[in-house]
Structure 1
Amino acid sequence: MRIVLVGPPGAGKGTQAAFLAKNLSIPHISTGDLFRANISQQTELGKLAKSYMDAGNLVPDEVTIGMAKDRMEKPDAENGFLLDGFPRNVSQAEALDEMLQSESMKLDAVLDLEVPKEEVVKRIAGRRICRRDSSHVFHVTYSQPKKEGVCDVCGGELYQRDDDSQETVRKRLDVYHTQTEPIIDYYKARGLVVTVSAVGTVEDVTTCVMEALKPDEDGK
């Protein structure tokens, strides 16, 4: 299957992408991972992206598109892939269409994970990260540490990242609604969008997603 995953920040896209990629035996292609890999390997696209980022500018669509194209041409993506973070706007969606058409391929589904705005704010603004090890993550409501402000795993100090503040989260949501949400309408016009509520346990959401992606009686 060839799937595009969309949803606001805090929808759990990364978590669901990992489950889906494993269950469907397709690679999870994340734009964040693509940028990090290209920059660390000092590819031409990576150097170009870094030059924009170092200057505090947005990386142009053509650079992101080039990275995604290179990754989708790898052998492990021959039988499908799960795109996470790309396309991010309608022009990138159009570029993806052109790429796939040139290879006589097409998307099977656009998975839209829906979460109410206030739930997103609550999820992200409540996160607390360990200063010693950023993989140790807690939450003031959903996953509280035994001792407030102290990591259960290593005893490090827990803190809130600057970009997890309520004000920043709301700004990120505004950017998502302005830039990325329009691609949902773009794909809806072609009957590709599958909408699933991302409210509930990870397991429940995964079950709903897998059910929604099953072919119907017509094999679609």
Structure 2
Amino acid sequence: MRIVLVGPPGAGKGTQAAFLAKNLKIPHISTGDLFRANISKGTELGKQAKAFMDAGNLVPDEVTIGMAHDRMTQPDATNGFLLDGFPRNVSQAEALDESLKADGQKLDAVLDLEVPEDEVVKRIAGRRICRNDSSHVFHVTYSKPKTEGVCDVCGGELYQRGDDQEETVRKRLDVYHRETEPIIDHYKAQGLVVTISALGKVNEVTKRAMDALKGDK
């Protein structure tokens, strides 16, 4: 299957992408991984991306699209892939359509993870990270530390990242609504969108997604 995963920040796209890709036996292709891989390998596209990033500028669509196309044509993606974080806007979606068409391929589904805006803010603004190890993550509601402000694992101080603060989260949501959400209508016109609720436990959402992709909605 060739799938695009879409949803607002805090919808759990990264977590669900990993589980879905494993269940479907297809590679999980995320924009972040594409950038890191191309930059670390020193590819021509990676050098271009790094130059823009070092200058504090956004990486142009054509560079991102080039990386995505290169990754989608790798041997492990012959039977499909799951795109996470790409396309990010309608122009990228149109370019993806053309790229797949040129390769004699097409998308099978666009999985839309739906989460109420207040829940998104609650999920992200409630996160607390350990200063000693950023992999130690807690939540003021869903995964409280035993002692407030203290990491259960190493005793380090827990803090709220700047981009997790409510004002910043709402700005990120505004960007999502303005730039990314319109791709849902783009794909609805092609009959590709499958919308599921991303509320509940991780395994419940994964099952919901798998059932929807199989047509058991």
TM-score of Structure 1 vs Structure 2, range by shorter chain: over 0.9
Q: Which amino acid aligns with 1:180?
A: T
For 1:184-217, what per-residue CA distance to the aligned partner results, in whole angstroms no more than 9, with x for missing partners?
A: 000001110000000111111111101101047x
How many residue pairs get matched?
A: 216
For 1:126-177, what per-residue CA distance to the aligned partner results, in whole angstroms no more than 9, with x for missing partners?
A: 0001111111100000000001111111111111111111011001000000
Query: Where has structure 1 moved over 3 Å in runs of 4 or more?
Result: none
TM-score (norm 1): 0.96
Aligned to 2:59: 59
Aligned to 2:214: 214
Would you say 1:79 and 2:79 are equivalent positions?
yes
1:153 is paired with a residue whose SS is coil
1:213 is paired with a residue whose SS is helix
Paired with 1:156 and 1:41, the residues of 2 have a C-alpha distance of 34
Paired with 2:126 and 2:150, the residues of 1 have a C-alpha distance of 15
Report the CA distance between 1:53 and its aligned residue.
1.2
Would you say 1:145 and 2:135 are equivalent positions?
no
Q: Which amino acid aligns with 1:39?
A: I
Aligned to 1:99: 99
Paired with 2:83 and 2:146, the residues of 1 have a C-alpha distance of 37
Higher mean alpha-carbon deviation, 54-63 vs 186-195, is at 54-63
For 1:95-132, what per-residue CA distance to the aligned partner results, in whole angstroms no more than 9, with x for missing partners?
A: 11111111111100000000011100010000001111
Aligned to 1:48: 48
Any stretches of 5+ residues in structure 2 without a counterpart? Answer: none
2:214 is paired with a residue whose SS is coil
Paired with 1:103 and 1:210, the residues of 2 have a C-alpha distance of 26
Higher mean alpha-carbon deviation, 191-200 vs 150-159, is at 150-159
Report the CA distance between 1:180 and its aligned residue.
0.4
Paired with 2:48 and 2:165, the residues of 1 have a C-alpha distance of 30
2:79 is paired with a residue whose SS is coil
Identical-residue share of aligned pairs (%): 82
1:1-220 counterparts in 2 under 5 A?
1-215=1-215
Q: Indicate the RMSD between aligned Cα atoms, in angstroms.
A: 0.9
Paired with 2:148 and 2:40, the residues of 1 have a C-alpha distance of 36
Q: Which amino acid aligns with 1:141?
A: T
Paired with 1:81 and 1:118, the residues of 2 have a C-alpha distance of 31
TM-score (norm 2): 0.97
1:111 is paired with a residue whose SS is strand
Paired with 1:40 and 1:163, the residues of 2 have a C-alpha distance of 25
For 1:23-70, what per-residue CA distance to the aligned partner results, in whole angstroms no more than 9, with x for missing partners?
A: 000000000111111122222111111111121111100000011011
1:45 is paired with a residue whose SS is helix
For 1:61-88, what per-residue CA distance to the aligned partner results, in whole angstroms no more than 9, with x for missing partners?
A: 0000011011111100010000000000
2:50 is paired with a residue whose SS is helix
2:181 is paired with a residue whose SS is helix
